[in-house]
A and B are shown apart, each in its own frame.
Chain A
Amino acid sequence: MKHLPKHIRPRWRYLALTLESQSGVAIERRSFQREVWYAGQNLLGDPGSADADLRVVRFTFSDGAGEAIVRARHGESERARAALACIDEVDGAPLGLCVRGVSGTIRAASRMTPERALE
């Protein structure tokens, strides 16, 4: 289908996250995405998670630490933040998580994490 003209495309907010787990644990992007969806659905319900439309757009994780960028609809970033806070484990491994910043572009969001592993 032809893509939408620019002024009616959805607007997004990108949440830059730092992730932390036990040393030696490797978390996969797919598992993290699944937990993000579950967290959204469990906290916000089906309509709320459809509105927030959470998607992991950048992800890196190795040896117990990582960074990610999660996309949410414009105006839903606080609800997205709340849903992300409720992720406490991924594949049985405990997950610490902190939103380091919210931005309108992936590029700017990737500069908000301390390690800048996604730049």
Chain B
Amino acid sequence: MYESVHVRPDGESDLSRLVETAADYGFEGVVVRNHSDARPVTDLPAVAAAADIDVVDGVEIRADDPHRAGGAVGNFRTTHTVVAVHGGTNAMNRFAVENEKVDVLAHPMTDHGDVNHVLVKAAADNGVRLEFSLAPVLRSSGGHRVRAIQSLRKLRELVAYYDAPYVVSADPTSHFELRAPRELCALGEVIGFSADALEAGLREWGVIAERTRAVRSDSFIEPGVQRGRYEEDD
């Protein structure tokens, strides 16, 4: 299972510290998803080489409008393994689910963002994963948390109906905010998820990374074409 994290300067912990804690808590990998305007993660290759778990370079594109995000998606797609879009406004949510190059629409329901059947269907068609962010459930209280749980329920019902792909994350910004997979599953069960569905959502980050790496590898030619045996010329 994978967790997606924000590291310094986007978050408050260093990458090595977060990776160490994630390994200790039983995660198989970490996706670094710093926002596009808080990038510098210079030590990623070094930390990835030294770590016991998989460290994936990702990005969460934060832009004011879809036009600017469009350029950023094109740029980051060629260099980063996981490309997410910072959701939360209707315009950005729609942009992300309609763009095949995007892997993940991050926290579509935060602030005043919303999704409906049209967006979820588009996400399913384009293979864009919708993120269930447990951050407000873990780290807020009162009415804000109630609304967050309500919106997770709405998203869950739509995702289940249209069989759309999804990921789950606690979206930690420091190693203190990290929670072990088993804790997240227990929390998910309390707010209405099945433990299996939640686990699948945590695994999906790894599936994205694996797929992007396979597509980038030298042995990949194009979808549906495989290298195999061929007849020798005499």
Contact = CB atoms under 8 A, between A and B. Distances in A.
B179 to A, nearest CB: 5
A82 B198 CA distance: 13
Interface string A52-90: 000000000000000000000000001101111110100
Given A42-B141, A96-B177, 10 more contacts: A43-B187, A82-B186, A82-B187, A82-B190, A83-B190, A86-B139, A88-B177, A98-B25, A99-B180, A99-B183
Contacts of B189: 78, 82
Interface of B: 21, 24-25, 137-139, 141, 145, 174-180, 182-184, 186-187, 189-190
Interface in A1-28: 20-21
Given A85-B138, A98-B25, A99-B180, A78 B186 contact: yes
B190 A44 contact: yes
Nearest to A85: B183
Contacts of B178: 96
Nearest to B137: A86
The 8 closest A-B pairs by CB, nearest first: A85-B183, A96-B176, A94-B176, A82-B186, A81-B186, A82-B187, A82-B190, A88-B139
Interface string A26-53: 0000000000000000111000000000
Interface residues of A, number: 20
Nearest to A114: B24
**Residue of B138, B175, B186 contacting most chain A CB atoms (<10 Å):** B186
A95 interface: yes
Interface of A: 20-21, 42-44, 78-79, 81-86, 88, 94-99
A82 B180 CA distance: 11
Nearest to A81: B186
Contact of A98 (B141, B145, B180, B190): B180
Nearest to A20: B176
Contacts of A85: 138, 179, 183-184, 186-187
Nearest to B190: A82
Nearest to B178: A96
Contacts of B25: 98
A84 B183 contact: yes
A43 B145 CA distance: 10
Contacts of A99: 180, 182-183
A42 B179 CA distance: 18
